C-alpha cells in the first residue's frame, strides 16, 4: 500500500494523502533535486532475458529500502524534463520478480502507482514506492559478465543522490541496528502498556480491573510527517467505532468507546487523549474509558471491566465488554495507521490489570440477558500480556481475525474457549 507522506508532500507543503500527477509535475517544474528518498528515472527498467542477471531496478529498490525508503519516479530525464513513459509497457510482474528473486531478505510492500497525464494530454509517469524496511540490510545478488561470469552479492544504500555498497563493518552495524530496532520495539510496547496501566489504576476510582491495550507501528512514522491535529485525532476515533460496528459479527454487543466520543480530545504529552474520568469536573458514573493517540502512531485503549459488577469473592471481569473493546481497539489502531503510515504493520499487545493481586479475577458473562459468573473457569490473580499483529492491507476479515486472536489470548487465561 502506497505511503501517504513522501518527499514530494514535504516539498510541496501538501497534507498527507495519495500521490497525484500534478504533484510530480510541479516538483519537476521546481527542479526538485534527487535525494536518498527520491530518484528521477527517464526510462522504464530494462530486464535482461537471462534469469538471475544483475539489474539496476533491484539495486535501486534495495538501496532505498536500506536507507529510509523512497520513490523511484519513471518518466523524468536527467535534465529534469517530464518525458514520460508508456504505462502499458511497464512490466510490473517482472519488476516484482526482480525484487523477489534478486534481493534478500524479501522487501514487502513495494507499490506501483500509475499516474497518467490528465485528459491524456501529456507524458505519463510511473512511481515505484519503496517502503522503509525494518528487515534491513537487504542484499542484491545475481551475476554479471565481465571477462567471465562473476557472482555478485552486495548491500546497496543511498546517500543523497548516489548509491554506494556497504562495507563489512557497515553490514555488521546494519544487523546490530535491526536487532536493536526489534528489541526497542518490544520494549516500547511493554513500556506503553505499563505506563497506561499505572495511569488508569491510579486515576480511576473504584475500578479494580482494567483492560489495557497498546499498539504501535512496526515501521516508525517518517520524521517529516506532520503531527495529527485535534480534529484528525477525533476523526480517527469516529471512523474506528464505525468500522468496529460494521465488522463485529461474533463480537456482538453495544459499542463501548462511543462513551468518550462526546468529549473533546485533550492535549497530552505528544499525544491526544480522550477520557471519561481523567478530568474531575467531567467525571461521571459511566464506565471508565481512556483512548490515547500518540504523535508517533502509538495507540492505547483502556476500559474498566468491573463497571456495574459486584462480586464478593473477587474482582469481576466483564468478558463481553472485553471482546467488544478488543475489536474496537484493533479498529482504532488500524484507522490511525491508515491516517499516518498506511504501509506499516501494527504490533498489538493487551492485558487485564488490577491493583490488588490478593483477589482473584472472576470471569463474568452475559447469558440470557443476565450477568453471571462463568462456571468451570479458572480464577487467576494476574494476567500475562497477549499479543498479535495486523497486516498493512487489513480488510474486515483481517480485523476480526486479529481481534479474535487477541481476545483468545486473554480469555484462555480464564480457561474459556472462544468460538468464531
Same domain, 186 and 218: yes
* Cell 477525533 -> residue: 234
Same domain, 147 and 207: no
Same domain, 195 and 136: no
Cα angle 74-77-83, degrees, rounded to a multiple of 5: 75
**Does the predicted TM-score (pTM) go above 0.95?**
no
Task: Judge whether 332 and 240 are in contact, CB under 8 Å.
Answer: yes
Which pLDDT score, from 0 to 100, does residue 128 have?
96
| Lowest mean per-residue pLDDT among 28-37, 93-102, 339-348, 384-393 | 339-348
Q: Which whole number is the average pLDDT over 314-334?
A: 94
Which pLDDT score, from 0 to 100, does residue 139 have?
93
Same domain, 138 and 213: no
Please report whether residue 171 resides in a domain. no
Domain boundary among 132, 166, 200: 166
Same domain, 211 and 96: no
Same domain, 136 and 186: no
Same domain, 237 and 384: yes
Q: Which whole number is the average pLDDT over 288-302?
A: 94
Which pLDDT score, from 0 to 100, does residue 16 have?
79
Give residue-wise pLDDT tens across range 72-92: 999 999 899 999 999 999 999
Same domain, 395 and 272: yes
Please report whether residue 175 resides in a domain. no
Domain that holds residue 47: 7-166
Residue 387, pLDDT > 80, answer: yes
Give residue-wise pLDDT tens across range 161-186: 999 999 999 999 999 988 888 888 88
Same domain, 200 and 58: no
Please report whether residue 173 resides in a domain. no
Please report whether residue 2 resides in a domain. no
Same domain, 247 and 195: yes
Please report whether residue 337 resides in a domain. yes
Which pLDDT score, from 0 to 100, does residue 361 have?
92
Cα angle 159-165-171, degrees, rounded to a multiple of 5: 100
Domain boundary among 104, 131, 166: 166
Same domain, 211 and 324: yes
Strands 361-367 and 315-318: parallel
| Number of domains into which the chain is organized | 2
How far is residue 389's CA from residue 372's CA, in Å, rounded to a whole number?
32
Q: What angle do the packed helices 230-247 and 396-411 form, to 10 degrees?
A: 80
C-alpha cell, 312:
464478593
3-state secondary structure the chain: CCCCCCHHHHHHCCCCCCCCHHHHHHHHHCCCCCECCEEEECCCCCCCCCCCECCHHHHHHHHHHCCCCEEEEECECCCCCECCCCHHHCCHHHHHHHHHHHEECCCCCCEEEEECCHHHCCCCEEEEEECCCCCCCCEEEEEEEECEEEEEEECEEEECCEEEECCHHHHHHHHHHHHHHHHHHHHHHHHHHHHHHHHHHHHCCCCCEEEEEEEEECCCCCCCCCCCCHHHHHHHHHHHHHHHHHHCHHHCCCCCHHHHCCCCCEEECCEEEEECCCCHHHCCCCCCEEEEEECCCCEEEEEECCCCCCCCCCEEEEHHHHHHHHHHHHHHHHHHHHHHCCCCCEEEEEEEEECCCCCCEEEEEEECCEEEECCCCCCCCCCCCEEEEECCCCCHHHHHHHHHHHHHHHHHHHCCCCCC
Cα angle 240-241-247, degrees, rounded to a multiple of 5: 85
Please report whether residue 420 resides in a domain. no
Domain boundary among 166, 191, 207: 166
Please report whether residue 235 resides in a domain. yes
- Select from 300, 308, 233 the least CA-distant residue to 267: 233
Same domain, 352 and 294: yes
Please report whether residue 102 resides in a domain. yes
Task: Judge whether 125 and 75 are in contact, CB under 8 Å.
Answer: yes
Amino acid at each position: 500500500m502506497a505511503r501517504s507522506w513522501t518527499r514530494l508532500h514535504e516539498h510541496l507543503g501538501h497534507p498527507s494523502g495519495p500521490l497525484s500527477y500534478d504533484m510530480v509535475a510541479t516538483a519537476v517544474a521546481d527542479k526538485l533535486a534527487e535525494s536518498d528518498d527520491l530518484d528521477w528515472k527517464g526510462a522504464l527498467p530494462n530486464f535482461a532475458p537471462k534469469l538471475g542477471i544483475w539489474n539496476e531496478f533491484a539495486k535501486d529498490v534495495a538501496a532505498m529500502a536500506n536507507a529510509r525508503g523512497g520513490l523511484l519516479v519513471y518518466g523524468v530525464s536527467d535534465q529534469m524534463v517530464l518525458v514520460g513513459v508508456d504505462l502499458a509497457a511497464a512490466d510490473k510482474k517482472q519488476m516484482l520478480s526482480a525484487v523477489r528473486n534478486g534481493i534478500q531478505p524479501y522487501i514487502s510492500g513495494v507499490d506501483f502507482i500509475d499516474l497518467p497525464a490528465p485528459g491524456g494530454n501529456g507524458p505519463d509517469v510511473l512511481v515505484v514506492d519503496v517502503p522503509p524496511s525494518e528487515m534491513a540490510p537487504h542484499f542484491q545478488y545475481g551475476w554479471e559478465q565481465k571477462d567471465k561470469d562473476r557472482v555478485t552479492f552486495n548491500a546497496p544504500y543511498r546517500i543523497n543522490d548516489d548509491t554506494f555498497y556497504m562495507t563489512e563493518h557497515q553490514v555488521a552495524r546494519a544487523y546490530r541496528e535491526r536487532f536493536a530496532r526489534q528489541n526497542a520495539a518490544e520494549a516500547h510496547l511493554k513500556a506503553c502498556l505499563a505506563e497506561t496501566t499505572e495511569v488508569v489504576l491510579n486515576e480511576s476510582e473504584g475500578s479494580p480491573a482494567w483492560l489495557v491495550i497498546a499498539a504501535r507501528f512496526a515501521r516508525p512514522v517518517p520524521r517529516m510527517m506532520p503531527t495529527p491535529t485535534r480534529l484528525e485525532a477525533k476523526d480517527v476515533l469516529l471512523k474506528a467505532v464505525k468500522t468496529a460496528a460494521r465488522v463485529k459479527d461474533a463480537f456482538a454487543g453495544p459499542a463501548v468507546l462511543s462513551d468518550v466520543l462526546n468529549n473533546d480530545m485533550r492535549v497530552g504529552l505528544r499525544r491526544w487523549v480522550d477520557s471519561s474520568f481523567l478530568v474531575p469536573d467531567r467525571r461521571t458514573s459511566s464506565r471508565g474509558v481512556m483512548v490515547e493517540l500518540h504523535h508517533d502512531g502509538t495507540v492505547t485503549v483502556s476500559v474498566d471491566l468491573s463497571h456495574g459488577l459486584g462480586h464478593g469473592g473477587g474482582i469481576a471481569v466483564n468478558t463481553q465488554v472485553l471482546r467488544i473493546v478488543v475489536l474496537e481497539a484493533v479498529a482504532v489502531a488500524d484507522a490511525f495507521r491508515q491516517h499516518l503510515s498506511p504501509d506499516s504493520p501494527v504490533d498489538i499487545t493487551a492485558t487485564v490489570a488490577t491493583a490488588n493481586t490478593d483477589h482473584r479475577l472472576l470471569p463474568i458473562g452475559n447469558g440470557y440477558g443476565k450477568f453471571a459468573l462463568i462456571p468451570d473457569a479458572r480464577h487467576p490473580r494476574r494476567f500475562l500480556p497477549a499479543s498479535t499483529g495486523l497486516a498493512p492491507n487489513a480488510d474486515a476479515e483481517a480485523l476480526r481475525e486479529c481481534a479474535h486472536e487477541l481476545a483468545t489470548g486473554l480469555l484462555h487465561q480464564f480457561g474459556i474457549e472462544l468460538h468464531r
